[in-house]
Amino acid sequence: MTKPPLTLYLAAPRGFCAGVERAIKIVEMAIEKWGAPVYVRHEIVHNRYVVDDLRDKGAVFVEELDEAPDDRPVIFSAHGVPKSVPAEARAREMVYVDATCPLVSKVHIEAERHHQNGLQMVMIGHAGHPETLGTMGQLPDGEVLLVETVADVAEIAPRDPERLAFITQTTLSVDDTVDIVAALKERFPAIVGPHKEDICYATTNRQEAVKAMAPNCDAMLVVGAPNSSNSKRLVEVGSKAGCRYSQLVQRATDIDWRALDGIESLGVTAGASAPEVLIDEVVDAFRDRYDVRVELVETAVETVEFKVPRALREPVRA
């Protein structure tokens, strides 16, 4: 039977960012250096396939530090951790490696600098997300006010409206954040913003690629995990950019083929913690059912690389 034709627009950039690649490499190098098991506080990145692969290699994932023994190395996830976590690790004399993405660490440093200058922080982010918890945990309780929406801006009660600064989670929707920042500046004209935008290059680049291809797509699939903030934002960006069906899938087995019946064009992208093997899996699933013509939609070329911590590059001391 003849397969129906399908134009498959493949976003570039897509998938792994430099921070995710660094975090995964940190776990692999830690296992190689110290042997298994190596403990990891929280999922190193938000992707089940990646986590399962590292678990097979000898990583043990725990939610809190008290689940890890004192005598085995522990790694902190790419999302960052509150200051209390490394403090506890030091108190227990644990060997630990911080895999926090350097761009998240930049936001932590920024928050501390503003705090030292006497400013109270407003954080634009998602309540309960590990990155938000980690960033808010850099400062004493009450020093960071969280806003998730424009409506939240009207509800916060800073101690001094003239002494405020704002920071953002690195994986937010660029467009949504612009509206929240505008509301903050309207209500608090003296508020201080980041020296450079907090939303990371990879989040911005992936969203721009989705915006470029969405108007040409009958449907769009974002390969990523349901607990991945940047992946969920890509789904939202696709819908807002004009794609009538924009959905998140973890694997090819999650594709709702009935919902895609009759499509002639499809956009495929992936969140920053989704490996290329899962993207290939989705593309191959469409090749099985359609006569696929792939078109690359490239809006940026990424060359960013982050070094792993020195502790992993040094030999084990006798």
Q: How far is CA 299 from CA 6, 31, 174, in A?
A: 22, 36, 16
Whether pLDDT at 175 is above 90? no
Tell me if the bond preceding 37 is cis, omega within 30° of 0.
yes
- Asked if 251 and 225 touch (Cβ cutoff 8 Å), the reply is no
Q: Is 316 a residue whose pLDDT tops 80? A: no
> How far is 217 from 115, CA to CA, in rounded Å?
46
Tokens of residue 65, six digits: 């530090």
Q: What are the residue boundaries of the structural domains of the chain, listed by start? A: 5-16+201-298, 18-101, 103-187
pLDDT mean across residues, the chain:
95
Q: Give the pLDDT confidence of 276-301 residue by residue, as tens digits.
A: 999 999 999 999 999 999 999 999 99
- Alpha helices (H) in the chain, listed in sequence order: 18-34, 48-57, 84-91, 102-116, 130-136, 150-153, 174-187, 201-213, 229-240, 276-289, 310-313
Rounded Cα gap, residues 245 and 260, in angstroms = 8
Question: C-alpha distances in angstroms, 111 versus 138, 142, 317?
Answer: 8, 13, 36
Find how far residue 207's CA is from the centre of its chain.
Answer: 13
CA distance 301 to 240: 24
Q: Which residues share a beta bridge with 65?
A: none
Residues 103-187, CATH architecture: 3-Layer(aba) Sandwich (3.40)
Q: Give the mean pLDDT of 196-204.
A: 87
Residue 195 has pLDDT above 90, yes or no: no
Q: Which CATH architecture has domain 18-101?
A: 3-Layer(aba) Sandwich (3.40)
pLDDT at 318: 53
Domains 5-16+201-298 and 103-187 share a fold: yes
In this structure, the dihedral spanned by the alpha carbons of residues 173, 192, 84 and 32, taken in order and rounded to 10 degrees, is: 50
Fold of 5-16+201-298: Cobalt-precorrin-4 Transmethylase; domain 1 (3.40.1010)
Residue 176: per-residue pLDDT: 86
- Per the CB < 8 A criterion, the answer to whether 218 and 245 are in contact is yes
CA 43 to chain centre: 12
pLDDT value, residue 206: 96
Q: What global pTM score does this model have?
A: 0.93
pLDDT score of 317 more than 90:
no
C-alpha gyration radius of the chain: 21
Distance CA 308, CA 318 (A): 22
The order of strands in the sheet holding 74-76 is 59-62, 38-41, 74-76, 96-98
Q: What is the pLDDT of residues 239-248, one digit of tens each?
A: 999 999 999 9
Residues designated as active site: 131
